[in-house]
Amino acid sequence: MKLRLPSFRTLVLITAIAAIYYASARFGLTLALERTNASPVWPPSGIAFAFVLLLGYRIWPGIAIGAFLANLTTFLSYGDVAPIPIIVVSSLIAVGNTLEAICGAFLLRLWIGSRNPFDHALDYLRFFLTVLLMCAVAATIGPTTLLSFGFFSKTLYPVVWFTWWLGDIVGILVLTPIFIAWRPPLFPPRWKLRRYFEILLFAFFFWIMAETIFGTYFHVEGIHFKYTLILFVIYAAFRFGQIGASLAVLTLSAITIWNTYHGIGPFVVESQNESLLILQLFIAATSFTSLFVSAVLNDQKNTEEKLRQDQERTHLILETANDAFIGMDEKGDITDWNRQAQMLFGWLREEVIGRPLAGVIIPHRYREAHWKGLKHFFATHEGPILNKRLELSALHRKGHEFLVELTVWPIRFEGSYRFNAVLRDITERKRAEERLKQVIEFAPNAMVMVNQEGKIMLANQMVEKVFGYSHEELVGKPIETLVPHRFREKHESDRKVFHQQPTARPVAGRELYGLHKNGTEIPVEIGLSPVETPDGTLVLAAIIDISERKQAEKRVAQFVKEIESANEELRGFAHIVSHDLKAPLRGIATVVEWLMNDYRAKLGKKGEEWLELINERVNLSHTLIDGILEYSSVGQVKGKAREIDLNVLVREVIDVLMPPENISVEVESTLPTIHADPVRIRQIFQNLIGNAIKYMDKPNGKIKIRCEPDGAYWKFSISDNGPGISENYFEKIFQMFQTLQRKDKSKSTGIGLALVKKIVESYGGSIWLESKVGEGSTFYFTLPSKGAVVYEEARQQNEIRRI
Ligand code: ADP
């Protein structure tokens, strides 16, 4: 451990304490038993203890030096003692005196910590006990040392020990409180002039009393007033607190010691030491009494203050509470009425305190019941409305009634009953509850409100329709009544989990069923939402009967299946029919060929023309049959999708079509690259450009091809300045076999646009046209730009979902 030198400040402090200790010790030693240094009056003990308590253990050298020097000089003044024993004895006595203060401070801190020992009665008792113990330290070390060096005979030891001990005790009892109690401010600022006058008067009578006892001015012989002095110090304790008590004790001890020392007064007996010892016992008792009284008073004051603060706090809590608080005594009179009560009922506190509660807030028709209830309570100590949350009508000062929620509870207070009530206006809440009830009652879905235990609190009209139970049959029953037996157990545990963290949500799970009163199960969908109410969190369940939807879904699935198989059949049929139709056609064509070859001359010109016609019709039938096959294969036969540069593809299509001289075909914008089946895309352009060329009726035919982005699509257009199409046919031309030409007159089959529409739509695009008769037509169609593959996947998924 590193040794630290005391600071300059500490050094000054130690020196000052040494000086004070030395001076007071020298004074004490003047009253010491001869050649013992044991004095019945020993102020240094009180000073030393106060300093250690106030400044800490570090000032111990001050005590040691002061004590050493005081004893040393006293012994020296005897003149006949050798220097070595003087030094040793003085040192040991100094050790005893120092240890006494240190031990005392240690013990006291251990017991009461850093509290002022004079503030509480119990602490003062501990202080007193500490003093008795600590003083034994010096009283043992000092006299024992003196005895062993032969300063006095063994027989004197008990007297010396006791004198030493008592001197130290009284020194502490009288002086330590002065130091500890006298902390600034010396005079409390709330002391009035009257208080100073009282002090003066007190001092005057104190002096009179002292004079009566020890007096030189007046003296009553033979009557001892000495114990009346105690009254004065007690009075001081009562009126002036710790400071007053300790000052009075100090004054008293100064006066009595002075007089007794001079052989005056009631404490004087034969030997001076004995006189002083008796006096010191008296002072110790007086000091103890007065400081104990002051501590008790202080305790009481604190308790009262705490009580007052508690009351204040309670009052504040009640005043700032959101609820009205009303107190009533046994007679039924109002005793408390807080701010909220004033606001709720319109009566001021001072107007209602002391008036019967019934006359103020209870509507006339309930007053008799109120008095009866009160009587019943005193007869049986039971009250059906006590300690419960109730909803009742209350009367406002203006005469109207309103709904309140209230709780009344009785308390026993100072031997009689008091009734406390907390009230709250619930008009608004009731209205909201009513509105909610209405909404629930007339909701288009079945709705039930369930409490935390799973009991049904409310069920609306629709519940009866869906489950067959009436409202009355369900209220109070467990919600599981509406759950099929096989789900009940799980439902109960799920319900508990939901109640722990209720949030609005649909009930998860694919298949939910309710149980009808007649035992059948109903497929349902359920949504849950928590509703906060004064009775806790309730859960509102909205239940939708989805039986019809389920059936409809079933029906749709059935239809889709049927259509699928019909489609399948049709496709097969188309294939067979086309195939079978082609065979006789081929037969006809062969017969026509034979006729042409073998009978051309016999048939003549007319016959030859007819044979030509037959041939043409056979070819058209071929084309028709191919068209049907083609059409039915779109969306069935999947070609491989790949990147197609439309600039190349469209150019190829135009080349194949070989437009005549008078028709120009222009691609007006750069065309995109798309991801699709090239065969199908070629069919789109071939048909649309082909039609534009085929139906061109102008000497200067102009066909234009354009493309522009349109959201996630490309929008293509093919416009011509041909004959145009009347708006009546905008829809029709996209249908199968619809042509605007007479079939026997032209080569049109009416399949081209139907095929194009089917292809475009199979990619998720659409097709339409704008046209004016005589001016020309523009065909528009869109194709997805993000890639046909992505679209195709989405389409398939969609179809799956629809099924
Ligand atoms: P087809 O060309 O074999 O008759 P389409 O389905 O391709 O069959 O066309 C249906 C009808 O629409 C045609 O018969 C024709 O009258 C009309 N049409 C198609 N394209 C044009 C066009 N560019 N200008 C005028 N009429 C058209």
Q: Which of 695, 755, 772 to mutate to test the pocket of ligand 1 (most atoms within 8 A of CB)?
A: 695
pLDDT of residue 510: 62
Token reading at 84: 């070595």
Q: Say whether the peptide bond before residue 659 is cis (omega within 30 degrees of 0).
A: no
d(C-alpha 521, C-alpha 467), whole Å? 9
Residue from 801, 704, 688, 663 nearest 752 by CA? 688
CA neighbor of 345 nearest in space, from 409, 421, 406, 402: 402
Query: pLDDT for 458-481, tens place per residue?
Result: 899 899 889 999 888 999 999 999
The pLDDT, as a whole number, for residue 789 is 45
**Residue owning tokens 């400081």:** 291
Q: How far apart are CA 457 and CA 473, in angstroms?
A: 11
Site of tokens 């501590």 = 295
Quick: pLDDT tens for 776-801: 999 999 999 864 444 445 445 444 44
**Residue for token pair 């709780």:** 407
β partners of residue 524:
545
In the structure encoding, which two tokens stand for residue 381, read together? 């100590």
450 contacts 541 by C-beta, under 8 angstroms: yes
Ligand 1 centroid to 692 CA: how many Å?
A: 8
CA-based nearest residue to 450, from 498, 484, 489: 498
- φ/ψ of 541, rounded to 5, equals -110, 125
Torsion of CA 200, 201, 204, 208, to 10 degrees: -160
What's the pLDDT at 268? 83
User: Any alpha helices (H) in 30-156, and if so which ranges?
Assistant: 43-55, 60-78, 83-112, 121-148
Q: What is the pLDDT of residue 34?
A: 74
Query: Which of 748, 757, 775 to probe ligand 1 with, by most ligand atoms within 8 A of CB?
Result: 748
| Mutational pocket test of ligand 1: of 733, 745, 747, 770, the residue with most ligand atoms within 8 Å of the beta carbon | 733
Report the distance separating Cα 217 and Cα 215, nearest Å.
5
CA of 678 to the centre of ligand 1 (A): 23
The closest of 90, 91, 93 to 77, measured between CA atoms, is 90
Centre of ligand 1 to C-alpha 588, Å, is 29
Query: How many whole angstroms from 723 Cα to the centroid of ligand 1?
Result: 10
Residue 521 phi, psi (nearest 5): -95, 145
- Pocket around ligand 1: residues whose beta carbon is below 6 Å from it? 687, 691-692, 695, 720, 722-723, 725, 733, 738-741, 748-754, 777
3-state secondary structure of 708: strand
Angle at 761 between CA 758 and CA 765, to 5 degrees: 145
DSSP code of residue 640: P
Shortest-distance Cα residue to atom 18 of ligand 1:
691
The three-state DSSP-derived secondary structure of 665-695 is EEECCCCCEEEECHHHHHHHHHHHHHHHHHC
Spatial distance between the Cα atoms of 98 and 60, rounded to a whole number of angstroms: 6
Which atom from ligand 1 is nearest to the alpha carbon of 755?
6
The single-letter DSSP state of residue 415 is T
CA of 675 to the centre of ligand 1 (A): 28
Q: Which atom of ligand 1 lies nearest, measured to the CA of 724?
A: 25
Protein residue closest via CA to atom 8 of ligand 1: 750
Atom of ligand 1 nearest to the CA of 749: 3
| CA distances to 36, 58, 486 from 55, in Å | 31, 8, 83
The phi, psi pair for 168, rounded to 5°, reads: -65, -45
What atom in ligand 1 is closest to the CA of residue 776? 24
686, 738, 753, 779, best to mutate for ligand 1 pocket (most atoms within 8 Å of CB): 753
Distance 694 CA to ligand 1 centre (A): 8
Closest ligand 1 atom to 627 CA: 3
Asked if residue 226 lies in contact with residue 282, where contact means CB atoms within 8 angstroms, the answer is yes
**Cα–ligand 1 centroid distance for 431 (angstroms):** 71
First-to-last alpha carbon distance for the chain, in angstroms, is 91
Question: Residue 788 has what pLDDT?
Answer: 43
**Ligand 1 geometric centre to CA of 691 (Å):** 6
Residue 680 C-alpha to ligand 1 middle, in angstroms? 19
Which helix (DSSP H) or strand (DSSP E) does residue 626 occupy? helix 547-633
Q: At 377, list the tokens.
A: 């309570």
DSSP 486-518: HHHHHHHHHHHHHHHS---EEPP-S--EEE-TT
pLDDT of residue 615: 85
Quick one: which of 5, 50, 361, 7 has its CA closest to 17? 50
- Of all atoms in ligand 1, which is nearest to the CA of residue 738? 10
Angle (nearest 5°) at CA 402 between 401 and 406: 120
pTM over 0.85: no
Atom index in ligand 1 nearest the CA of residue 751 equals 6
**Cα 486 to chain center, whole Å?**
39
What parts of the chain have a pLDDT lower than 70? 1-4, 183-191, 215-224, 508-510, 635-639, 742-747, 786-803
The whole-angstrom separation of Cα 636 and Cα 397 is 86
List the structure tokens of 753. Answer: 């646009």
Our mutation pick for probing the ligand 1 site, out of 684, 691, 780, counting the most ligand atoms within 8 A of Cβ, is 691
d(CA 568, CA 534): 65
Gyration radius from the chain CA atoms: 60
Burial 65-74, CB ≥16 within 10 A → b, else e: bbbbbbbbeb
Q: Which atom of ligand 1 is nearest to the CA of 739?
A: 14
Cis omega before residue 660 (within 30°)? Answer: no
- Nearest-atom number in ligand 1 for the CA of 696 is 24
Q: What is the pLDDT of residue 569?
A: 79
* Residue 740 Cα: closest atom of ligand 1: 16
Atom 16 of ligand 1, residue of closest alpha carbon: 740
**Which atom belonging to ligand 1 lies closest to the Cα atom of 691?**
20
Ligand 1 center–CA 684 separation, angstroms: 13
Distance from Cα 189 to the centre of ligand 1, integer Å: 116
Alpha carbon distance 708, 785 (integer Å): 11
Residue with tokens 């869109």: 782
pLDDT given for residue 355 in this prediction: 94
Antiparallel, parallel or unpaired: β 701-710 and 401-413: unpaired
For 317-326, which contacts have Cβ atoms below 8 Å and span 24 or more sequence positions? 321/422, 322/424, 323/422, 323/423, 323/424, 324/422, 324/423, 324/424, 325/420, 325/421, 325/422, 325/423, 326/357, 326/361, 326/420, 326/421, 326/423
Mean confidence (pLDDT) of the chain:
87
Relative to the CA of 729, which ligand 1 atom is closest? Answer: 12
Distance 750 CA to ligand 1 centre (A): 7
Query: How high is the pLDDT of residue 393?
Result: 92
The DSSP-derived string for 279-329 is HHHHHHHHHHHHHHHHHHHHHHHHHHHHHHHHHHHHHHHHHH-SSEEEEEE
- Token representation of residue 443: 């909701």
Distance 738 CA to ligand 1 centre (A): 8
| Contact of 342 with 323, CB cutoff 8 Å | no
CA-nearest residue, atom 10 of ligand 1: 739
CA-nearest residue, atom 7 of ligand 1: 752
Bridge partners for 770 per DSSP: 778
C-alpha 721 – ligand 1 centre gap (Å)? 14
**Side chain identity, residue 736:** M
Residue 603 has a pLDDT of: 82
- Contact (CB, 8 A) for 168 and 135: yes
CA of 622 to the centre of ligand 1 (A): 19
Q: In angstroms, what is the span from residue 754 Cα to ligand 1's centroid? A: 10
**Cα angle 313-314-317, degrees, rounded to a multiple of 5:** 85
SS3 per-residue string spanning 29-45:
HCCCCCCCCCCCCCHHH
DSSP for residue 154: G
Residue nearest to atom 25 of ligand 1 (CA): 724
Instruction: Using the mean position of ligand 1's atoms as its centre, give its distance from the Cα of residue 568 in Å.
Output: 29
In the prediction, which pLDDT does 715 show? Answer: 95
Q: Give the three-class secondary structure for 114.
A: coil
Distance 648 CA to ligand 1 centre (A): 25
What CA–CA distances, in Å, run from 458 to 437, 449, 465, 470, 495?
Answer: 8, 5, 15, 11, 17
